[in-house]
Chain A
Amino acid sequence: SSELTQDPAVSVALGQTVRITCQGDSLRSYYASWYQQKPGQAPVLVIYDKDKRPSGIPDRFSGSRSGNTASLTITGAQAEDEADYYCNSRHSSGNSHVIFGGGTRLAVL
């Protein structure tokens, strides 16, 4: 079982705001990063270091953290945002291991 917990599926109306969450003990100490994966494609980094966006990622994507929960917010969701989203962080033990959340499938209605 994944040590980062994500809701399996979330939906949002076109143009509305959606928050995708990721819970885990590791997030009390370490920052989450977020990836977008469309069918048949490799994941793409959309948020790192809790709230930083790589070059080329639209500013409608933002990240935050509160306690043991990290959130990815899409403000004004577009049809092209429909995808699977994964969080990851350093393992809570502090060793150099990587953990991923189970993923959230976002539907844009």
Chain B
Amino acid sequence: QLQLQESGPGLLRPSETLSLTCTVSGGSISSSRYYWAWIRQPPGKGLEWVGTIHYSDTYSNPSLKSRVTISVDTSMNQLSLKLSSVTAADSAVYYCARQFMDYYCYYMDVWGKGTTVIVSS
């Protein structure tokens, strides 16, 4: 059974770079069928797509694009997210998820439990 587990520092100062890792177990991150995504949820708010990666192809939310770097380490079966120049607005629960993409439908079928990130001085 595929499982995803996010990890990373819970507290950051403004202007720092957020670095998160998602460890995939029970399956290979190298599967050609699936993509891998980051989604975040600010406190009390809805879900916001951060970005997606498939091999070396990455896609990012235009509102975050210049600050987001997503990568995959196939040897470690891990997905990572870097978000630069964070502000309080980046405080959120960050989820990684397995994403399915075909022409008509994009969906996330397996999610990690999420990790809370707080940006505060």
B36 lies within 8 A of chain A by Cβ: no
Given contacts A42-B95, A96-B52, A98-B52, contact A90 B106 (CB under 8 A): yes
Question: Total interface residues on A, using CB and 8 Å?
Answer: 29
In contact, A100 and B104 (Cβ under 8 angstroms): no
Binding site for B on A (CB under 8 A): 2, 29-31, 33, 35, 37, 41-45, 48-50, 54, 86, 88-90, 95-103
Complex CA–CA separation, A42 to B110 (angstroms): 10
Q: Nearest residue in B to A2 (C-beta to C-beta)?
A: B46
- The contact sample of 7 A-B pairs, CB cut-off 8 A, is A29-B104, A30-B105, A33-B106, A97-B61, A100-B39, A100-B46, A101-B46
The residue that A30 contacts in the complex, of B37, B61, B104, B114, with Cβ under 8 A, is B104
**Is B16's beta carbon under 8 Å from chain A?**
no
Bound CA span A54–B110, Å = 11
Report yes or no: A45 in contact with B108, Cβ–Cβ below 8 A.
yes
A17 to B112 Cα, complex, angstroms: 30
Which residues from chain A contact B59 at a C-beta distance below 8 Å? 95-97
